[in-house]
Structure 1
């Protein structure tokens, strides 16, 4: 069983979906160590979990030891998965912005829209249709992560399919990249508890974690 460290500390907005999302990761077959304690998180990195998941974290959630430990973990070959509000996290730590590749810059109302799947060769998107209709918050970002040639943008938002978009036509939603010897995956989806009951999203999430943990092949 793949051991993962799931961190859900929130210093700003807290998503009501967090408890169900943690349960679902266990249902998907992962051995989940879950914490919201920054000291416990920093210590748990020493056990070298197969992947670290920041699950709708928000605000400044790490100690200096946690920041140092997370950077060493990922650069040394660990896997990192950011889900939804992970992009609203650690604005004061430049490394974390570089790790994700973009930061949250707002969102319109929760509403239906269309995800345009650009790369179906990745394990986390190969099961999806080229146009995936779902309901979420449709995060806007402060930059296009694809400015870094090492980033693979796997899916973008169809901004014509919902109201209030502000990112532009090249609107990233899901992407992955390498960081040092590690793997990084980010999905902006997963706002509501209902997302974690959707078979397509559950498969997407499971494949993202196994890819980051290097057990995808």
Structure 2
């Protein structure tokens, strides 16, 4: 029998440990796509889920001409678990398996008569953010949980209205974030230009506004508005880092302030990314949008507060690009209602 020197056994063990550590390091994204009964369901949700999933598993390959160097490769960047089952959030351990949660065009009724999450689910969601979890919102993600002030502050502002969908130019206001580092000078799309009930720039953790409109658009309701989302440039996408749930010292109104009696939430050391783009299927299929989305997600997940970067033990099912040929899958461990 051949004797293996102790130092060789040690090297082999270290290499094996590094291999398994690397295999488990793929980050985990929850794509939450619930729509409350009676709320508007966007037809582009399946396309958005598909694009987010394939950007994560490396099936959509972006190049360095159109996308940030951090996402312009065919490597697997994250696994996507898709669910619309809010009851799972009532388990205090469910959300902790994810590095970030993406609200993919989630919606409640505009009058606030519906709410996506139960009271316990909201508590667990707030704790997840307070523990460093990341948040990503797409399009009408600002149009839900109107009865939950900490969520309004997390996403940045609540939806007010939009003029009719029309051609509009979108420009980047900064190239210092992966989501816009290679954004074209003017991205021409058909889009709903969102107005918000408050100005996200008034939050204690003020956002870096990523996108605004580069062309004028028809907005007949603007003259009669009673709410204000601030001066130009119009915020159409933004990122924030740290203090994600903090309330400003001066009340904002419009559902953004904590109630006098009831739970009050603050903190949230992680990162968030929100973009109002994405109403149409065709937008999600364009490279500038895909680069914008991939860069935003990767920036949020690069936070040292994320589960995988803190070294927390993951609870997940691994999947490879071959496991997800063309569309997102729903978690087998956590059964979705849909």
Does the pair score TM above 0.5? yes
2:64 alignment partner in structure 1: none
Q: Report the count of equivalent residues.
A: 215
Q: 2-side partners of 1:42 and 1:196: how far apart?
A: 32
Shift of 1:172: 0.7
SS at match of 2:159: coil
Cα deviations by residue, 1:184-211 (Å, 9 ceiling, x for unpaired):
1110001111111111101111111111
> Are residue 77 (structure 1) and residue 132 (structure 2) matched?
yes
192-201 or 140-149, which deviates more = 140-149
Cα drift, residue 47 of structure 1: 3.7
What is the match of residue 51 of structure 1?
100
State the secondary structure of the residue aligned to 2:238: strand
Structure 2, unmatched stretches of 5+, are 1-25, 58-77, 109-114, 223-228, 245-267, 305-338
The alignment yields a C-alpha RMSD, in angstroms, of 1.9
What is aligned with 2:301? Answer: 213
1:110-158 deviation digits (Å, cap 9, x = unpaired): 1110123111111001110233222211111112211235311111224
What does residue 18 of structure 1 align with? 45
Name the structure where strand makes up a greater proportion of residues. Answer: 1
Cα 1:42–1:112 change in 2 (3 A) is farther
Structure 2 counterparts to residues 148-159 of structure 1, below 5 A: 148=203, 150-158=206-214
Indicate the SS of the match to 1:204. helix
Distance in 2 between the 1:116 and 1:144 partners? 19
Which one of the candidate residues 8, 17, 27 is aligned to 1:2? 27
**Structure label with greater radius of gyration:** 2
Q: Give the C-alpha shift of residue 36 in structure 1.
A: 0.7
Summarize the alignment of residues 93-112 of structure 1 with structure 2, pairs less than 5 Å apart: 93-112=148-167
- Aligned residue for 1:105, secondary structure, equals strand
Cα distance, 1:170 vs structure 2: 3.0
- Check 1:215–1:145 CA distance in 2 against 1; reply closer, same or farther (3 A cut): closer
Alignment counterpart, residue 176 of structure 1, candidates 228, 233, 239? 239
Give the deviation of 1:42 after TM superposition: 4.3
SS of residue in 2 equivalent to 1:211: helix
1:28-67 Cα deviation digits (max 9, x unpaired): 1231111111112444744431110000000121111221
TM-score, length basis structure 1: 0.92
| Alpha-carbon distance in 2 for matches of 1:117, 1:63 | 37
Give the Cα separation in 2 of the matches to 1:123 and 1:46: 26
TM-score by length of 2: 0.60
Aligned partner of 2:326 in structure 1 is: none
CA distance in 2, matches of 1:42, 1:81: 20
Alpha-carbon offset, residue 212 of structure 1: 1.0
Q: Are 2:101 and 1:38 equivalent residues in the alignment?
A: no
- Give distance in 2, aligned partners of 1:41 and 1:55: 16
Structure 1 alignment gaps of length 5 or more:
none
CA change 1:42–1:55 in 2 (3 A) is: farther
Q: Distance in 2 between matches of 1:56 and 1:95?
A: 18
- Aligned equivalents of 2:176, 2:279: Cα separation in 1: 25
Q: Distance in 1 between matches of 2:294 and 2:125?
A: 21
CA distances 1:82-102 after superposition (whole Å, capped 9, x unpaired): 000101010011111111121
How far 1:215 sits from its partner (Å)?
6.6
186-195 or 63-72, larger mean C-alpha shift: 63-72
Cα 1:41–1:24 change in 2 (3 A) is farther
